Amino acid sequence: MARLSNVIVAILALLHIYILILEMFFWESPRSLSAFGLTPELAKETVAMAANQGLYNGFLAAGLIWGLALGSEGRSVKIFFLLCILAAGVFGAVTVKPQILLIQAVPAVLGLLLIWKSR
């Protein structure tokens, strides 16, 4: 179970790195417009805000990677950052679009459950 939980944590870290890249560097690209449901005009107006959001996603990824790097000592670090992702996923699902629940919150819950089971 511990190995599987680490795989989920690593996948979530990669997901948040991908989101960071889209938000910080490719906000106005066709991929970001499609992923975030934006018009080119709205993307142009919100480029600075998106870069800020991307930075926060980078912090989430960094926290998960830190927890993984600590090995068995990183359990509480991984739990903390998974809970942050869960909160962000639920908030995003309520305020932006429901699919965020599936993209962020559900994998975070899965990671938390696997960490809990691996005790």
The answer on pLDDT for 119 being more than 90 is no
Kindly write down the DSSP assignment for every residue of 45-76, as one continuous string: HTHHHHHHHHHHHHHHHHHHHHHHHTGGGGHH
Determine which helix (DSSP H) or strand (DSSP E) holds 35, and give its type and residue range: helix 30-36
Provide the mean pLDDT of the chain: 96
Domain of 31 in residue numbering reads as 2-117
Return the H-helix or E-strand segment holding 95.
Answer: helix 75-95
pLDDT in tens, 20-30: 999 999 999 99
8-state DSSP, 29: S
pLDDT tier at 1, thresholds 50, 70, 90:
confident
Total of domains in the chain: 1
Residue pair 113/1 in contact (Cβ under 8 Å)? The answer is no
For residue range 41-86, what is the model confidence (pLDDT) as tens digits? 999 999 999 999 999 999 999 999 999 999 999 999 999 999 999 9
pLDDT attached to residue 74: 97
Q: What is the pLDDT of residue 2?
A: 84
How many Å apart are CA 35 and CA 13, to the nearest integer? Answer: 18
